[in-house]
Structure 1
Amino acid sequence: MATAIADPVRRRILTMLRDEPLAAGEIAQRFAISRPAISRHLRLLRESGLVRDDLIGRRRIYRLDPGPLAELVDWLAQLVTADRWERHLDALETEVYRTRRERRSGGPAEHRREHTA
């Protein structure tokens, strides 16, 4: 699947199919590359399980199949969540060090002025 979504043309096709099912010819019309090239992209997307196709008369209609993307979405969510937690933990660590430093120096500057005044 990684190979299938690595190409910007295939990602654009997936985005188009997210909005609506399209015939191969309709997809090809939206690109400046040849129809055979679009057919190869569609075949790779179909073989990877990211799109389904239905033959209606002489037209092949493609639809997005988001199922195989679920694993990728879960993995990406873990990265984002891990990054967010890492930032929170970094902020907590900074606060702990600041609090320790203030305790060693007798408290924040505002508190020291109040006690000496």
Structure 2
Amino acid sequence: MFRRTFWFTAGAAAGVWATTKVNRKLKQLTPESLAAQAANKALETGHRLKDFALDVRAGMVQREAELEEALGLDAPVEPVPAQTRELPEPRRRGALGPSSHQTTHAIPTITYNRNEDH
């Protein structure tokens, strides 16, 4: 008699446990629950990316400071005294004003294609 009662109770408990597990899993698979889980994962991923970007930025600043120290670029700049020099006097033109054969000098432009270095 005790045997039957034990196995009946064990079976009922296993049934309740299995039913509870299945119901929890079904609730996790509803569209609302899946959307909430996706939103939470997206927020978590965003926070991780932000932390990664902050770590990269901190590493860049640290490395830049190391390079400046190694190259001596972080030394204080001493002010250079201003040197005065005399400018040449402008050339005098004829009495009629500037010549009609006057040419204009253009500043040459240098194009730089950053893909040429590769």
TM-score (norm 1): 0.37
For the pair shown, which has the larger CA radius of gyration, 1 or 2?
2
Give 1 or 2: higher helix fraction: 1
Give 1 or 2: higher strand fraction: 1
The higher-RCO structure (CA 8 Å, 6+ apart) is 1
